[in-house]
């Protein structure tokens, strides 16, 4: 069974440019999560999809970030325009059952974003 995949693995862009990150969850997982780790800090929650609907987007830092999950399969996270403080590693995770003991979130390898 294929795990969670993310593309690209690395992205280097200049301040003001736009970047789109993609996440393909494990097949059949309705729940998809985006997280971010800024250097020196802990991983932090960004948002949670259930199928194509945003269940919780309280962790999104500002309106420069836009997440979509059309059709309830893969998801994209767009940053427009990118700022220096957006640099970090963006993780995607998916799970079958949200919360509780039944929910094991499987993480992708992350996308390392560097904004110059």
Partner 1 sequence: KNQVEQSPQSLIILEGKNCTLQCNYTVSPFSNLRWYKQDTGRGPVSLTIMTFSENTKSNGRYTATLDADTKQSSLHITASQLSDSASYICVVTPYSGAGSYQLTFGKGTKLSVIP
Question: What's the burial of 110, exposed, middle or buried (CB within 10 Å: 0-12/13-18/19+)?
Answer: buried
Cβ closest to partner 1, residue 16 vs residue 109:
109
Interaction with partner 1 in 22-81: which residues (CB under 8 A)? 31, 35, 41-45, 48, 55-56, 58-59
Q: Is 7 in the site for partner 1 (CB under 8 A)?
A: no
SS (H, E, C) 23-62: EECCCCCCEEEEEEECCCCCEEEEEEEECCEEEECCCCCC
The 84-113 site mask, x for binding partner 1 (CB under 8 A), equals -------x-x----xxxx-xxxxxxxx---
Q: Is 4 in the site for partner 1 (CB under 8 A)?
A: yes
Alpha helices per DSSP H over 11-97: none
DSSP letter at 2 equals: -
Cβ closest to partner 1, residue 2 vs residue 101:
101
Three-class SS state of 28: coil
| Residues near partner 1, by CB under 8 A | 4, 31, 35, 41-45, 48, 55-56, 58-59, 91, 93, 98-101, 103-110
């Amino acid at each position: 069974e294929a795990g969670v995949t993310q593309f690209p693995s690395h992205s280097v862009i200049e301040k003001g440019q736009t970047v789109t990150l993609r996440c393909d969850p494990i097949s059949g997982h309705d729940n998809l999560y985006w997280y971010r780790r800024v250097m020196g800090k802990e991983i932090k929650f960004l948002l949670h999809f259930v199928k194509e609907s945003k269940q919780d987007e309280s962790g999104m830092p500002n309106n420069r970030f836009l997440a979509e999950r059309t059709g309830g399969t893969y998801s994209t996270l767009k940053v427009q325009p990118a700022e220096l403080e957006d640099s970090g590693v963006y993780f995607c995770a998916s799970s079958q059952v949200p919360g509780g003991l039944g929910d094991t979130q499987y993480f992708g390898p992350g996308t390392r974003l560097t904004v110059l």
